[in-house]
Amino acid sequence: MKQLFIVFSVLLALLSAYNMSAQSLVDVSVGSSTQDRVSANLAYRYQLNDRFRIGLEAQYGAPRYRFVDAKPIREGFSTTFSVPLTYRLYEKDQIRLDFYARTGLRVQGKIDPDQNDERDSILSANAVLFEPGLLVTIPATEKVHFQGGITFPMGFQVSPSSLFEFAHVPLIYAGLNVKTSERRHVFLKAATGAAFGGNGDTYKFSWSLQAGIRFAFGRRTAAPLVEPTF
Amino acid sequence: MKKILIASCLLVWATFLTAQESKPAKIGWFITPEVGVMFLENHVGKTIGASFGVKLWKDRLKVGIISYGRPGPINSYTVDTKLAENQTYLGKSSVKLRADWGVVGAFIAPTFKFKKFELDLPIGYGVGTGGFYLHGDDRKTPDGARVSVWEDKLFKGEDAAAGGWTEFGARVFFPSKIKGMSFGGGVHYTLISGWKTFADPSGEFYNQRLRVNLFVNFGSH
């Protein structure tokens, strides 16, 4: 966690020092879900042009219900690094449609799995994550935007063994974004949906809730689109 | 089934004829997240899912993908299942299993616009998969092996299965103040074929069932 914080702080400092004419966004949020009792998320978004936005994201969680080799762990750690991107497909009047995709790496596990009160072993699993989706943004007022959409997150454990861990078909997403100042938004995100995977040993359903603040840098005001995090 | 397919094709063709314009057709899009219930034997199952796709011929025909699930964790109904003769699990000769179900398929929906609402008639075809699983303390296996290993052993590999899914329905959409967003509800009749499990050898758990849903619809306009 400490190393993660240092890496991201350095990255953000470098990016902030760079003279960017396009908009950059930094999101800080906390949440809870089927997977984690509590999680913290730090995200950076860079608006390349009017349609395309790409980012970097890190999430750290305290597991509530996660898996190693399709066997549950209910405590330990979970760290995810991912690269999300969005591409605007349609915008007319009050409705906007974006294509969304995320790819990432996840490490999760349990310290002292044999519970001998000595931190001499770690049971952990690494996975590759992928999540395509479609997101809709609707401005209710000048300052309040609603979001809805569907995504198809999936995870593939690559070590200690290879297995198809989970997929949602689909995950339903809802978001609320409120502009509190010219360069600051507060947001709420929620997602839920049925799932399958691990030959029936892993998730069959999941939910997540997240709340945070978005800070905008650069010439333009903050874009309302806040992508799902899972 | 043959008569139903012929009638469906005629309905689509009629929609096509009435929507013909001299201008090139504009292709729209839609996304429809939904929640619903399925009226199953002895209980009502909760569902969650979504459909998405394109709208053709001045929005008079929707073509897309639909997927929904009846997940076990939000449906507490259990099926009391007797194990095979001379078989026990954690000292029991029968176990209470939860049911888990999901559907994914394609659909077409001729759409009819009226003054204050819109009606579409979705016809879907695809695959339904699901089964019955150990839950709660029964998931703590006696030897620490994965739960699926024991489920395969206890239910002779028939803890879950896949089958053909067909569904016919009617949905009503009411516009909101925001262009491109509407709300509504629908009724659907589900047919399942070729789905057989240890806990439900007849395969009738989800067959010939009524499903009702509520949704928010987003789309081009």
Complex ipTM more than 0.85, yes or no = yes
B34 is in which domain, residue-wise? Answer: 28-49+66-103+124-219
Would an 8 Å CB–CB cutoff place A92 in contact with chain B?
yes
Closest chain A C-alpha to B22 CA, distance in angstroms: 24
Q: Is residue B40 a part of any domain in this protein?
A: yes
Secondary structure, 3-state, A56-104:
EEEEEEEECCEEECCEEECCCEEEEEEEEEEEEEEEECCEEEEEEEEEE
- Residue A221: pLDDT band with limits 50, 70, 90: low
Q: Looking at residues B192-208, what average pLDDT do you find?
A: 96
Residue in chain A closest to B75 (alpha carbons) equals A205
Q: What is the pTM of this model?
A: 0.88
Reported as a pLDDT band with limits 50, 70 and 90, residue A55 is very high
Return the residue matching tokens 């569902």: B47
Chain A nearest C-alpha distance from B2 (Å) = 30
pLDDT at residue B21, as a whole number: 44
Mean pLDDT value of segment A152-163: 96
Is B179 in Cβ contact with A94 (below 8 Å)?
Answer: yes
Task: Give the total number of structural domains in chain B.
Answer: 1
Chain B residues whose CB is inside 8 A of the A134 CB are 31, 52
Confidence of residue A107 (pLDDT cuts 50, 70, 90): very high
Residue B198 lies in a domain: yes
- Quote the CA–CA distance of B55 and B52 in Å, as a whole number: 10
Q: Could you tell me the domains of chain A?
A: 2-217 (2.40.128)
Residue B5 counted as domain residue: no
Give CA separation, A115 vs A92, A110, B194, in Å.
58, 10, 47
B59 within a domain of the structure (yes/no): no
In a domain? residue B99: yes
* Structural domain contains residue B173: yes
Interchain contact, A172 vs B160, CB within 8 Å: no
Residues 148-187 of A with CB under 8 A from B: 148-150, 169-170, 172
Report pLDDT digits (tens) over B80-126: 999 998 899 999 999 999 999 999 999 999 999 999 999 999 999 99
pLDDT at A19: 39
Residue A83 tokens, joined: 């690269």
In a domain, B115, yes or no: no
Nearest CB to B147: which of A97, A195, A201?
A201
Closest CA to A95 of B143, B221, B87: B221
State the pLDDT at residue B92: 94
- Cis peptide bond prior to A160, omega within 30° of 0: yes
Give the three-state DSSP class for A11.
Answer: helix
Q: Tell me what pLDDT residue A140 has.
A: 87
> Which chain A residue lies closest to B73 (C-alpha atoms)?
A205
